[in-house]
Structure 1
C-alpha cells in the first residue's frame, strides 16, 4: 500500500506553482548562486504555507536521497548538470528499493525529477534541463507497459460509488457515536468530493443550515487546499435515508451535542470504549492532535475498514470518496463543469477529466452500447 505522501504528491501536482524548499538546500550547505537569492524567516514561513506538509516532506526526502547518491558517484548535486539527473533517473529505474524489492514507479520518478528542479530554484540556481531524464523515463514506462507491469499504471484508489457505500453502511452500527461519525465521514466525503485533509479540517461550525438552503439540505464550508479557496457547498438531501448525507451529518452533530461537544473539530477520535477525543499515548508520550481531531490516515482507515467489513475487493482509501463522486456524477450525466466546481477541481483539471473518461466506459455513452452487437 502506498503512503499518504505518495498519493498526495502524485495525484494533482503542479510543479511550477510549488513554493521554495530553501531550507533543504541550506541544510546541505549548498550556497545560492545569486547573493540576493534569500528570504527572511517570516517570508520563508509564508512561502511554506503554500505547500502541503506531505508534499514538502516527500520533496525533502527525495532530494536528500539524490544528494547521497551524488556523493557516492562523485557528481555535483547542485547546480546539477543535465547528465547528472539523467544518470540518476537511469540508476533508479534499475535499482530495487529496499522497502519493496522493486525500482520506483514512473509516477514516483516524475516526482523525484520535480523535487530536484524545485530545490534548485529554492537555492537560487537555474533548474537543470531534464530532457534526457524524461527520455529515460519514457523508455522505462514503455518497458513496464509491454511487460504488463502494474507499475506502468497509476496506483489509483477504487471509486466508492453510492451502491458500494450503501453496502458498506449496512454493516455500520449507526446507533453508536463511532458509527454515526463513520457514516458522516463516508457520506459527507462523497457528497463534498472531499479530500481527507479537507474533511479533517472541518469544524462543528462548518456545518450550517442558512435560510437559503431550508428544505434543500445543509451548507458545508470547506477549504480546498489544492486550489487554496474556501467553498460553500450545498449538500442536498439524498434519495435514500440510509445514504442521505444530510441525515448522517445531523445525526452525528446531535450525538456530539449530547456529549457536550458543540465547537471545535467535527471529526474526532473515538476510542474502543466510545470516549470522544480521548488522548493517545505512545512510549509514554501523547501523540496525535491534542484537540482530538482525526488525522487523514484515520479517515482512510474508516474507508478501508468499512469496505473490508463487506469483503469488497479493491484499493480503498480516503480518495475513494472523492473519486466516487466524480465517477457517479459522470454516470448520472451531470454537467461536468458544475461537477468539477462542486468538487473543487480546476476547470481544466486533468485528474477530473481522467475520472470522467474512465466512467464513460460504464454508462450508455460507451460506443458499444448501441452498435447492434
Structure 2
C-alpha cells in the first residue's frame, strides 16, 4: 500500500495545518502493514487508475477536491471496462472511493468529502435496480462467494489425495478454516504453535489474530463425528506429517509445489520472492478452495470466504445463537457483516412469518 502515494504525487501534497508536510516513509509503511494484502492490491490498482484519469483530465489527485471525486465516479458509471464491456459495478465504485480516501490518510492529508460522489453512486444503483434486464440487476448486487456448508465440504475434501503432504495440508486448510470461520489472511498467519491439543482430549484450541476486530481469540474446535471431515483429525494429521519432515515450528500452512515439496524457492531475475519462511499467500489459500470446487464439479463461486460463510450458514441452521456464532468467528457483537453472511432460505420453511398466524 505504500506505493499508493508515489513520489510524483507526494510532491503535490499540501502542507499539513500543523506544519508537518506528510507522514514519514516509515510511518507510511507502518500504516500499509495494517491493511490486508488483498485490499492493498485492489486499492493500489484503483488509485493508480484514478491518478491516470486525473492526469488525462488535468485534475490533482492528491489532495483531490470533492468535485474531482464526483467527476471520476460519474466517469466510471458511464465508461465500459475493456475486460467486461460494462461500467464498474456499484461495489467496485465503493472500493474506488475507499482507495482515494485511504491514499489521503496514508499521506497524512484530510480525505475529500464524498457526498456528491455517493449521490451519483446512489442514482446509479437505483437505475440498475429498476432495470428490466436481469444482468443489470445482478450488476447492482455485490458478487458474493458461495457458502461451503458441510455437505459441500464433504465433496471438496473427497477430491484430495490425503496420503500426500499437500493433500493433508489442503484438507486441514478447508476443514479448520470452516471450523474457526477463518479469513484467508488469518489462516495463513497461523503457526504450528498456534494449535494446542486439549489435555482432556476434547479437541484443539487455535490462537488466531482477528484482524477486523484487532483482537486475539482462541476458538475451541472439538472432534467431529465423521473422521473424514473432522477438523481436529485433519489438522493434527497435517501437523504430525510436518513433524515427520522436521518442521515443528514456523508457519502452519506452507507453500508447496504440485509434487508436495515444502516451500520451494521462488526466484525472479535472480532474486528470491515471496515469504522466505515459505508461508502461503492469501491468494494461494483461496486457490485451494477454488481448485477443490472445480475438481468436485460443484457450482458456485468458491474462494476463501466460502468457508467463513459456510460456517455461519451451518451454525445458524443448527439453531446456534447469533452472538455465540459471532464470538467464535471473530465478529464484533452486532456486526452488520455477520448478518450479511446469513443465508436466506427459500421462503417456504418454518421461518416464514405467515406460518401459524391463522390466515
TM-score (norm 2): 0.89
Distance change in 2, residues 1:38/1:338 (3 Å): same
Distance change in 2, residues 1:87/1:256 (3 Å): same
Q: Secondary structure at the match of 1:358?
A: coil
Q: Which residue of 2 aligns with 1:130?
A: 114
Q: Which residue of 2 aligns with 1:51?
A: 35
CA contact (8 A) 2:47 2:99 kept: yes
Distance change in 2, residues 1:299/1:175 (3 Å): same
Instruction: Write out per-residue CA displacement over residues 112-145 of structure 1, whole angstroms, 9 at most, x where no aligned residue.
Output: 1122233334445443222221111111112222
Distance change in 2, residues 1:42/1:78 (3 Å): closer
Question: How many Å separate the matches in 1 of 2:292 and 2:357?
Answer: 39
Instruction: Write out per-residue CA displacement over residues 42-97 of structure 1, whole angstroms, 9 at most, x where no aligned residue.
Output: 43343333222333333333233222212222233344332222111011111122
CA contact (8 A) 1:174 1:180 kept: yes
CA contact (8 A) 2:23 2:108 kept: no
Q: Which residue of 2 aligns with 1:234?
A: 220
- What does 1:157-236 correspond to in 2, within 5 Å? 157-211=145-199, 214-236=200-222
Question: How many Å separate the matches in 2 of 1:42 and 1:125?
Answer: 16
Question: How many Å separate the matches in 1 of 2:24 and 2:67?
Answer: 33
Question: How many Å separate the matches in 2 of 1:164 and 1:226?
Answer: 27
Matching residue within 62, 70, 73 for 2:54:
70
Q: Which residue of 2 aligns with 1:88?
A: 72
CA contact (8 A) 2:2 2:29 kept: no
Q: Which residue of 2 aligns with 1:7?
A: none
- What does 1:194-343 correspond to in 2, within 5 Å? 194-211=182-199, 214-281=200-267, 286-343=272-329
Question: How many Å separate the matches in 1 of 2:60 and 2:259?
Answer: 56
CA contact (8 A) 1:22 1:119 kept: no
Distance change in 2, residues 1:126/1:220 (3 Å): closer
Distance change in 2, residues 1:362/1:266 (3 Å): farther
Q: Which runs of 5+ in 1 are unaligned?
A: 1-19
TM-score (norm 1): 0.86
Question: How many Å separate the matches in 2 of 1:303 and 1:23?
Answer: 30
CA contact (8 A) 1:117 1:127 kept: yes
Instruction: Write out per-residue CA displacement over residues 308-351 of structure 1, whole angstroms, 9 at most, x where no aligned residue.
Output: 12210000011100111111111111111111111111113211
Q: Which runs of 5+ in 2 are unaligned?
A: none
Q: Which residue of 1 aligns with 2:93?
A: 109
Say if 2:328 is the partner of 1:346.
no
Question: How many Å separate the matches in 2 of 1:120 and 1:257?
Answer: 47
Distance change in 2, residues 1:300/1:372 (3 Å): farther
Question: How many Å separate the matches in 2 of 1:127 and 1:171?
Answer: 48
Residue 21 of structure 1 and its aligned partner are, at CA, apart by: 6.6
CA contact (8 A) 1:89 1:137 kept: yes
Say if 2:166 is the partner of 1:154.
no
Distance change in 2, residues 1:97/1:276 (3 Å): same
Residue 367 of structure 1 and its aligned partner are, at CA, apart by: 3.3
Distance change in 2, residues 1:208/1:360 (3 Å): farther
Residue 170 of structure 1 and its aligned partner are, at CA, apart by: 2.2
Distance change in 2, residues 1:23/1:172 (3 Å): closer
Distance change in 2, residues 1:48/1:169 (3 Å): closer
Question: How many Å separate the matches in 1 of 2:145 and 2:165?
Answer: 27
